[in-house]
A and B are shown apart, each in its own frame.
Chain A
Amino acid sequence: MTSAAVQGLRTTDAPETADVDRRRWVFRHPALIRVCHWINVACLTILLMSGLQIFNAHPALYWGSISTFEHPWASIGADQDAQPPKGVTTVAGHSFTTTGVLGLSRDAGGDMTERGFPRWITLPADQDLATGRRWHFFFAWLFVINGAIYLAYGFASGQFRARYVPTGAQWRHIGASIKEHLLLRFAEGEEARHYNVIQKLTYFVVVLGLLPIQILAGLAMSPGMNSVTPWLLTLFGGRQSARTIHFIVADLLVLFVVVHVALVILSGFWNNMRGMVSGWYIIDRKQKTVPHV
Chain B
Amino acid sequence: MSSRKIMFDRRRIVTGGAALLGASLLSGCDDVSEKPWARRILDKDEDANLYVQRLLLSDQKLAPEYPEAEISPQFKANGNDDPKDKAYRGMVKTGFATFKLAIDGLVERPQSWSLPDLRAMPARTQITRHDCVEGWSCIGKWTGVPLGDLLKAAGLKPAARFIVFHCADTMDEGGLDALSADDADTSGDDATPAGDQAPASTGQTKAPDAKIAKSAGGTGDASDVGSHYYESIDLVDAFHPQTILAYDMNGMALPVAHGAPLRLRLERQLGYKMAKYVMRIAVVDHLDGIGKGGGGYWEDQGYEWYAGI
Contacts and interface: CB of A to CB of B under 8 A. Distances in A.
Counting contact residues on chain B (CB < 8 A from A), the size range is 35 or more
B137 A67 contact: yes
A138 B42 contact: yes
Contacts of A130: 298, 301-304
A164 interface: no
Given A58-B132, A145-B10, A224 B45 contact: no
A224 B240 CA distance: 12
B64 A233 contact: yes
A223 B30 CA distance: 29
A130 B138 CA distance: 21
Interface residues of A, number: 48
Contacts of A227: 57, 61-64, 267-268
Contact of A137 (B29, B39, B49): B49
A127 B43 CA distance: 18
B302 A228 contact: no
B63 A57 contact: no
B102 interface: no
A223 B76 CA distance: 18
Given A135-B29, A224-B57, A142 B76 contact: no
Interface string B28-45: 011001000001011111
Contacts of B303: 129-130, 133
Contacts of B76: 67, 69
Given A65-B70, A66-B129, A69-B76, A239 B61 contact: no
Contacts of A285: none
Interface in B105-135: 129, 131-135
Interface in B1-36: 10, 13-14, 17, 20-21, 24, 29-30, 33
B308 interface: yes
Given A65-B70, A69-B74, A230-B64, A142 B13 contact: yes
B129 A65 contact: yes
B33 A145 contact: no
B190 to A, nearest CB: 15
B66 A225 contact: no
A134 B33 contact: yes
B267 A223 contact: yes
A49 B57 CA distance: 30
A57 B134 contact: yes
B53 interface: yes
B33 A135 contact: yes
Interface in B263-290: 267-270
A60 to B, nearest CB: 8
Contacts, number: 151
A57 B61 contact: no
Contact of B33 (A58, A131, A137): A131
Nearest to A230: B64
A249 interface: no
Interface string A52-64: 0011111010100
A143 B14 CA distance: 10
A164 to B, nearest CB: 26
B153 interface: no
Of A49, A137, A223, A240, chain B has the most CB atoms within 10 Å of the CB of A223
Contacts of B178: 127-128
B38 to A, nearest CB: 10
A140 B268 CA distance: 20
Contacts of B63: 223, 226-227
A5 B14 CA distance: 21
A49 B24 CA distance: 13
A77 interface: no
Nearest to B135: A58
B6 to A, nearest CB: 15
Contacts of B30: 123-125
A58 B131 CA distance: 12
Contacts of A95: none
A257 interface: no
A127 B64 contact: no
Contacts of B308: 222-225
Interface string B58-69: 000111101000
Contact of A66 (B14, B17, B43, B72): B72
The interface centre, meaning the residue of A138, A140, A240 with most chain B CB atoms within 10 A of its CB, is A138
B269 to A, nearest CB: 6
Contact of B131 (A46, A70, A228, A239): A239
A67 to B, nearest CB: 4
A219 B24 CA distance: 26
Contact of A65 (B41, B42, B139): B139
A42 B21 CA distance: 8
A139 interface: yes
A86 interface: no
A56 B180 CA distance: 11
B244 to A, nearest CB: 15
A129 B298 CA distance: 11
Given A131-B33, A145-B14, A224 B269 contact: yes
Interface in B159-181: 177-179, 181
**3 cross-chain pairs, A with B, having the tightest CB-CB distances, nearest first:** A224-B308, A137-B45, A130-B302
Given A55-B135, A57-B134, A130-B301, 8 more contacts: A46-B24, A70-B74, A127-B178, A129-B303, A137-B46, A137-B309, A226-B64, A227-B62
